Chain A
Amino acid sequence: MKRALLCCLSLAAIACADGGPTPPGEPAVLIVTNRSQFTLLELRLHGTASYAEAQNVLAVPLTINATVSHRGSGQYYVTTFRERYAGGPTVALTTETPVSLVDDQRYQLSVFDTSFRLEER
């Protein structure tokens, strides 16, 4: 009996002991899929509501149903640029609220004509 109690105490001591610095997790993976009816001219992720200073992460326009991935964790606004209509002006569409991306997680962001959809994978 004493031996069993001792083992339990030892296990408890181990569990309560400070393990020191833990290794950092992998940045979240954000997979952006263009499910709108338009070709996306630009894709910008930015921490504030303004997208003016943000960089376009697309090397080439993202065609319909094409996908692009991005790594990074934190809270981001996502903005896409597209034509409003064929031959029309370019319009920027920004998520109304930022998306939260957590390390080591994979996210799927679908871009529609007038909305976004974030799903955790």
Chain B
Amino acid sequence: MTEERAQNLIKQLHDAVVKMDEEASAQLSKTILAEGIDANRAITEGLTAAMSKVGELYTNQEYWVPELLLCSDALYAALDILKPKVKVEEAEVKGQIVLGVVEGDMHDIGKNLVKVMLDAAGWTVHDLGRDVQLERFVEEQQRTNADIVALSALMTTSMLAMPKVIQMMKARDPNVAVMVGGAPLTREIASSYGADGYAKTAVDAVAEAVKLLKPREIK
């Protein structure tokens, strides 16, 4: 198999995700493995790059939530096939993140999209789901030793849970970074709650997480 063929297959995989083609994405992933292309390379050059492009299309208002959801279906169709074949020593894990929608809030589309973008970018995501009791965030961070805890809320009432989680988290370990997001929040409110980071959209969440991880790497 030539390098040109490998590049071509990875490009096709990339395009399948961007074009929301779940079937093609799964089929190409199988072909990639069958032809001996490294799974980790297919993920980083194909899938991560594809979701980065999808994020760009969302930011430019060419894609919306329906398109993001279908791209995420195509992404997971490929990841389900490729991920088990990634050699442990090659896996490039950016960091670990505990993610969830705070107690009292059942709206999880935004949180789910954040998970998609983080998964695609190589993060290990511990997704607690929606309507998550506040102490669960602390327990899960403790269990996984995650670098970041990310909280989502869509309502003005549920966002009031955020400063409590942040307080609980910081009391246990001041080094754990907490980022928040959701429609009623702003960077100013996030900051007043004691959050270390804020993301306006799911696409912004990855960049913000990377930013929060950096000081820890330097330490």
To the question of whether A and B form a pair in one complex, the answer is no
